[in-house]
């Protein structure tokens, strides 16, 4: 199993080198999730008996599963399996803050999402493709950030080494007042933004909060940073797309009436006061996400018989999820019921 180190590029997992350890990640403990974990465990124990299986520390982890603690001294993990919604992958990402991340196989519990290529019913096919080295991955870029106090000194923030998959968002939160934030790109002043807040998003995050705030949809294999204002007072402030080599600094203006709450992938981390700043950059450690096309049968493919991984899941998802092709009229058809 190999994974190119360049963010945003697909790599073939290597045959002949099956994962030796597996980390199961789930947020919810609903019956459907618990049952799915049991089924999956039964399957891997039968088929891959030497595999070590880990789980985060929780009172109720399944029998025979070892407790896993994140951090620099974590036990090595060769494959991550997530069960749940998009938020479950975001959580899995947050467990790997240091160093390279193992490939992630994400199962939905019934609804498919942007970050959920596999339906839980396909667990066997999907696991086998990973174990047999047939899986292909999309390296989803992540962001890392650094904090600076009002006097420009690096701040010793506990979340210093947080890695985000979707976005870093600064927001006025429950303050009734607009933020004033100075934006710098590679050290150069871009503008002063008076707004509800600002989002620095990865291409992956471009379909999350940034999209709701009016940002463009960016293909996850592009290496780019998206800067999207949230309800800006200036009508001319449009979303901007930068190369992933750019460094973006957001500094709460000394004149700002409000401080700004910082969230990373939807987790509120801390609050920046006037003069304080966060600097955002592409992280060295993308998340290798296993593609749905890894398990596609040749006959499923569109186009002229491209091999595994050639088809672009994302293009299909965009078409399906956003229903681009739905004009008002065809939507009307969906509901067509007589009065």
Instruction: Show which residues are catalytic.
Output: 86
Task: Enter the tokens of residue 249.
Answer: 């600094």
Q: Compute the distance between CA of residue 337 and CA of residue 339 in angstroms, rounded to an integer.
A: 6
Using CB under 6 A, which residues numbered 177 to 216 contact ligand NAI?
A: 177-178, 195-196, 204-205, 207-209, 212
Task: Enter the tokens of residue 87.
Answer: 């938020």
Selected binder of its own copies within 166, 201, 296, 308 (CB under 8 A): 296
Instruction: Note whether 203 and 161 are within 8 A (CB).
Output: no
Mark residues 186-225: x for contact with its own copies by CB under 8 A, - for none: xxxxxxxxxxx------x--xx-x-xxxxxxxxx-xx-x-
Q: Compute the distance between CA of residue 135 and CA of residue 127 in angstroms, rounded to an integer.
A: 9
CB atoms near residue 328 (< 10 Å): 7
Minimum distance from residue 21 beta carbon to its own copies (Å)? 26
The answer to whether residue 153 forms part of the interface with its own copies (CB under 8 A) is no
Specify the residue for token string 């399944």: 62
Of 323, 166, 177, 184, the closest CA to residue 240 belongs to 184
The answer to whether residue 25 forms part of the interface with ligand NAI (CB under 6 A) is no
The single-letter DSSP state of residue 113 is B
The answer to whether residue 274 forms part of the interface with ligand NAI (CB under 6 A) is no
Please spell the DSSP secondary structure of 154-194, one letter per residue: BP--TTTT-EESSEEEEE-TT-SSPEEEEEEETTEEEEEEE
Using CB under 6 A, which residues numbered 237 to 266 contact ligand NAI?
A: 265-266
Q: Compute the distance between CA of residue 281 and CA of residue 104 in angstroms, rounded to an integer.
A: 22
Minimum distance from residue 9 beta carbon to its own copies (Å)? 10
Instruction: For 92-105, give one letter per residue: b (16+ CB within 10 A) or e.
Output: bbbbbbeeebbbbb
The answer to whether residue 267 forms part of the interface with its own copies (CB under 8 A) is yes
- Give which of ligand NAI, its own copies, none residue 166 binds (C-beta under 5 to 8 Å, depending on kind): ligand NAI
The answer to whether residue 45 forms part of the interface with its own copies (CB under 8 A) is no
Size of the site for its own copies (CB under 8 A): 94
The answer to whether residue 86 forms part of the interface with ligand NAI (CB under 6 A) is yes
Of 177 and 238, which CB lies nearer to ligand NAI in the complex structure? 177
Part in contact with its own copies (CB under 8 A); list of ranges 14-22, 59-67, 141-149, 238-246: 238-246
Minimum distance from residue 151 beta carbon to ligand NAI (Å)? 27
Q: What is the CA radius of gyration of the chain?
A: 21
The dihedrals phi and psi of 6, each to the nearest 5 degrees, come to -85, 125
The answer to whether residue 114 forms part of the interface with ligand NAI (CB under 6 A) is yes
Minimum distance from residue 110 beta carbon to ligand NAI (Å)? 13
Instruction: Note whether 206 and 216 are within 8 A (CB).
Output: yes
The answer to whether residue 242 forms part of the interface with its own copies (CB under 8 A) is yes
The answer to whether residue 329 forms part of the interface with ligand NAI (CB under 6 A) is yes
Question: What residues make contact with ligand NAI under the rule CB under 6 A?
Answer: 85-87, 90, 113-115, 166-167, 177-178, 195-196, 204-205, 207-209, 212, 231, 233, 265-266, 328-329
């Amino acid at each position: 199993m190999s994974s190119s180190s360049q963010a945003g590029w697909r790599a073939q997992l290597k045959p002949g080198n099956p994962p030796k350890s597996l980390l199961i990640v789930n947020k919810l403990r609903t019956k459907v999730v618990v049952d799915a974990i049991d089924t999956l465990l039964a399957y891997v124990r039968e088929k891959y008996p030497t595999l070590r299986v880990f789980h985060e520390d929780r009172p109720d982890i399944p029998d025979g599963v070892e407790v896993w603690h994140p951090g620099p001294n974590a036990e090595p993990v060769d494959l991550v399996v997530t069960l749940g919604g998009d938020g479950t992958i975001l959580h899995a990402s947050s467990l790997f803050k240091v160093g390279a991340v193992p490939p992630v196989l994400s199962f939905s519990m019934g609804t498919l999402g942007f970050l959920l290529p596999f339906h839980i019913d396909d667990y066997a096919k999907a696991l086998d493709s990973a174990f047999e080295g047939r899986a292909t991955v999309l390296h989803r870029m992540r962001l890392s950030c650094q904090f600076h106090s009002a006097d420009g000194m690096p701040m010793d923030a506990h979340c210093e080494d947080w890695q985000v998959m979707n976005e870093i968002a600064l927001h006025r939160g429950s303050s009734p007042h607009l933020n004033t934030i100075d934006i710098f790109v590679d050290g150069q002043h871009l503008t002063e933004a008076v707004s509800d807040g600002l989002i620095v998003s990865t291409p992956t995050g471009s379909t999350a909060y940034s999209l709701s705030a009016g940002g463009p949809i960016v293909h996850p294999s592009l290496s780019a940073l998206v800067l999207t204002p949230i309800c800006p007072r200036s009508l001319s402030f449009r979303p901007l797309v930068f190369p992933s080599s750019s460094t973006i600094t957001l500094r709460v203006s000394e004149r700002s009436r409000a401080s700004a709450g910082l969230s990373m992938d939807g987790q509120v981390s801390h609050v920046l006061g006037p003069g304080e700043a966060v600097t955002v950059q592409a992280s060295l450690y993308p998340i290798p996400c296993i593609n749905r096309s890894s398990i596609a049968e040749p006959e499923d493919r569109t186009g002229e018989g491209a091999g595994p991984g050639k088809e672009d899941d994302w293009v299909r998802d965009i078409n399906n999820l956003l229903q681009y092709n739905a004009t008002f009229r065809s939507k009307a058809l969906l509901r067509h019921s007589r009065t």
